[in-house]
Amino acid sequence: MRTTPLFRRLAAEAVGTAVLAAVLIGSGLRVAAPGGDCGGGTAGGVLAPALALGVLIALFAPVSGAHLNPLVTVAGWWAGRRDGSGPSAGELGGYAAAQLAGAAAGAALANAMFGRPLLGPAAVPRAGGPLWLAEGLATGVLVLLVCGLLLGGRGRWAPVAVAGWAAAACWGTSSGAFANPAVTAGRALAEGPAGIAPGSVPGFVLAQCAGAAAGLALAALLFGRPGAVGEPAASGEPADQAEARKDLAASSASSSASTSPGRLPEPSSRPPQRIDR
């Protein structure tokens, strides 16, 4: 992924986060609009952003990793810091800035689609221990899920797995599972069911960061540190089998190289055998 130019990765993060925020905020506004329920009710407000998240991950993962979330970016850096598969530490700030800009653009786009002021502050207060606990849980499991998929070599399941957890957490937590500091900030710029009062944003973000830290700790406990001895290989192959396979390949390469065309076989250290006639 680091082979992709940084500007393309940041553009993918900005565009993906913008689309995610627009669908998330827009689905809430659609349900709240007169005659806009379409029989889906709350289920539509849950499934629409979850489905959009899965599609966006599948689309942008080859470009930027499709984090669309500063805390997922941190998880990607942590899981891939040994082999360079994730962003570097110096790129974390750029990713977060692109995601914040994308969330703000998505909020403006959703407001424009429903004829509202482009960036009007939300007025829905969301604070208190139960909501913060729910945010910590939703974010912690998300980070644990991402790290587990990456460390277990199952990243191809991310679109389905992350979208599934997003839908489950949104439906089953008291906070609605914002679980994303960038999109949380974007939701503060849009009035409606999906909004959050600007004064409630710091508490939510702190709860999300605490949950992410717990998720990383659990990932280290359950899956081991990236690059540690005895961990599963990136392809999901046990480490001992991967090491044996590498040794066999090296041995075969050495054997073939000693008799390759244009090179004489290495002289044997054994004395020539005597043949009695």
> pLDDT (tens digit, 0 to 9) for every residue of the chain, 277 residues total?
678 899 999 999 999 999 999 999 999 888 776 655 554 556 777 899 999 999 999 999 999 999 999 999 999 999 988 778 889 999 999 999 999 999 999 999 999 999 988 888 898 899 999 999 999 999 999 999 999 999 988 989 999 999 999 999 999 999 999 999 999 999 999 988 889 999 999 999 999 999 999 999 999 999 987 764 344 433 444 444 444 444 444 444 444 443 333 443 444 445 555 544 3
Residue-wise burial string across 153-175, b where 16 or more C-beta atoms lie within 10 A, e elsewhere: eebeebbebbbebbbebbeebeb
| Contact between 120 and 39 (Cβ < 8 Å) | no
DSSP state letter for 7: H
Instruction: List, in order, residues 6 or more apart from 97 with CB less than 8 Å away.
Output: 10
Structural tokens at position 241: 């089998």
Res 131: pLDDT: 96
Res 92: pLDDT: 96
Res 46: pLDDT: 85
Helical segments of 114-151, H only: 129-151
Res 252: pLDDT: 44
Instruction: List, in order, residues 6 or more apart from 189 with CB less than 8 Å away.
Output: 104, 107, 108, 111, 119, 120, 121, 122
